Homo-oligomer: A and B are copies of this chain.
Amino acid sequence: MGELRGACIFGQSGGPTAVINASAYGVISQALKEDCITNVYAAEYGIKGVLADKLFDMGQEDPRELAFLMNTPSSAFGSCRYKLKDPDLDETEYKKILEVFEKHNVRYFFYNGGNDSMDTCSKISKYMQRVGYECRVMGVPKTIDNDLYGTDHCPGFPSAAKYIATSVMEVMQDARVYGAGHICVMEIMGRNAGWLTASSVLGRVNGYAPDLVYLPEMQFDFERFLGDVVRVYKEKGTVLVAASEGLKFPDGSFVSEAKTSATDGFGHAQLGGLATILSGLVAQTLGTKVRGIELSLLQRCAAHCASGTDIEEAVRSGQRAVTAAVDGVTDKMVAIERTYTEDGQYVSGLKLLNLSEVANYEKKFPRDWINEEGNNIRDEFIDYALPLIQGHVAIPREHELPRYARLKKIYAE
């Protein structure tokens, strides 16, 4: 592999996380150091910005401001949920991308996202190879859902897990304040994978965990759920439930979308989400007040509660994508590999996976880590996840509130 000189484009894709900008910082800061990379561009709104030739010139940013990206949540350059068509069926978009690549002499493309984004990377790379345009394409992993295949875990997940575990502990501490009688259902993100909801149990190491935990990997049964809640309520007088937004009925439909259904509990249209539905149902059954709490967007953008390990791994993954590409690698996604030192300390290494292996697969929460009854999480998961949330971060503050990166965002040309 000879030296490949040219510009690079970095893009952010899919739902934001607390550390996707940390990966951006890893890519951008490393790319700015590489002699063979002539210009460093960040696409506005991911691949949509490439298609629209809306590229921000990172060379014009103050490097000190770029460093603030490490503690700035969400996607600083904008994101998208955009799936490219199959190039065998419609080449239009690929031609447009090629045109933009040629115009700016783009020879490196780094894309930060989940399963779908790795598919985007893979398609672009194949197209460029087919038309004989030399361009190295690398994926940088990202998703709070932790459902990315082939990597021990995914940047973004540890920080969301830490926020969820912390919030569950605080809510539990609050909920017990009037003694018996408190029932609370917390709704946690994850449409298809239960990793985030499972993270609600991490506080168990300090004595705080939900009584019942329901993941989308297990079919949801209303009667069994109500039975569980009533049993715990009778035993303890209080119940804390953690439930994934992605819970599904045996027929595959989402519980959160249940409307005027055959089920007794639903006589009217529901506007709220899962927490509202489940808490309403429990309230009706037990004749008691039930509180529904949806962690909503808060759980994916809580940079003030980020994991230091997560930020460090996110930055390092971005850097590695760049150094590997400069070394001649293409069509790979950076993945995290877990090892332990002799005295049992967690250490993360990085490896490279073929994009085609990773694209479009979803890594589910293992059945082995769910208890037999399907309503709680085993300690094996805590052994897995606890090392990932380590490392306290003092975020930059101004007036004691978060101080995020202030970028000029100057378009190329």
Q: In the complex this chain forms, how many copies of it are found?
A: 2
A401 touches B179 (CB 8 A): no
A394 touches B397 (CB 8 A): no
A213 partner residues in chain B, CB cutoff 8 A: none
- Which 3 A-B pairs rank lowest in CB-CB distance, beginning with the nearest? A272-B272, A174-B301, A170-B301
* A14 → B minimal CB distance (Å): 10
A174 partner residues in chain B, CB cutoff 8 A: 16, 73-74, 297, 300-301
B401 touches A205 (CB 8 A): yes
* A279 → B minimal CB distance (Å): 8
A-B contact list, 29 entries, CB within 8 Å: A16-B177, A72-B173, A73-B170, A73-B173, A74-B173, A74-B177, A78-B176, A78-B177, A162-B400, A166-B304, A169-B402, A169-B404, A170-B302, A170-B304, A174-B301, A205-B401, A206-B399, A206-B403, A206-B404, A271-B276, A272-B272, A293-B297, A293-B298, A307-B400, A386-B399, A386-B400, A391-B400, A392-B397, A392-B400
Interface size on A, residues (CB 8 A): 67
- CA of A305 to CA of B74, assembled, Å: 19
Q: Mark A66-82, 1 if CB is under 8 A from B, else 0.
A: 00000011110011110
B404 touches A400 (CB 8 A): no
A390: Cβ under 8 A from any B Cβ: yes
A402 touches B276 (CB 8 A): no
Q: Taking A169-B402, A202-B399, A276-B276 as given, write out 19 further A-B residue pairs in contact, using a Cβ cutoff of 8 Å, ordered by the A residue number.
A: A16-B174, A16-B177, A73-B170, A74-B173, A74-B176, A166-B402, A167-B298, A170-B298, A170-B302, A171-B298, A173-B404, A203-B401, A271-B277, A271-B280, A272-B272, A272-B292, A294-B296, A386-B400, A389-B400
- CA of A220 to CA of B130, assembled, Å: 61
B294 touches A398 (CB 8 A): no
The residues in A between 355 and 396 inclusive whose CB is less than 8 angstroms from any CB of B are 386, 389-392, 394
The residues in A between 173 and 224 inclusive whose CB is less than 8 angstroms from any CB of B are 173-179, 184, 202-203, 205-207
A89: Cβ under 8 A from any B Cβ: no
A80 touches B268 (CB 8 A): no
A291: Cβ under 8 A from any B Cβ: yes
Chain B residue, CB-CB nearest to A170: B301
A165: Cβ under 8 A from any B Cβ: yes
A10: Cβ under 8 A from any B Cβ: no
Q: Which of A78, A169, A293, A389 has the most CB of B within 10 A?
A: A169
A386 partner residues in chain B, CB cutoff 8 A: 399-400
A205 partner residues in chain B, CB cutoff 8 A: 398-399, 401
- CA of A217 to CA of B59, assembled, Å: 49
Q: Mark A336-361, 1 if CB is under 8 A from B, else 0.
A: 00000000000000000000000000
- CA of A305 to CA of B402, assembled, Å: 11
- CA of A389 to CA of B293, assembled, Å: 25
A178 touches B399 (CB 8 A): no
Q: Which of A73, A272, A390 has the most CB of B within 10 A?
A: A272
Chain B residue, CB-CB nearest to A400: B390
The 8 Å CB contact of A45, one of B178, B202, B277, is B178
A177 partner residues in chain B, CB cutoff 8 A: 16, 74-75, 78-79
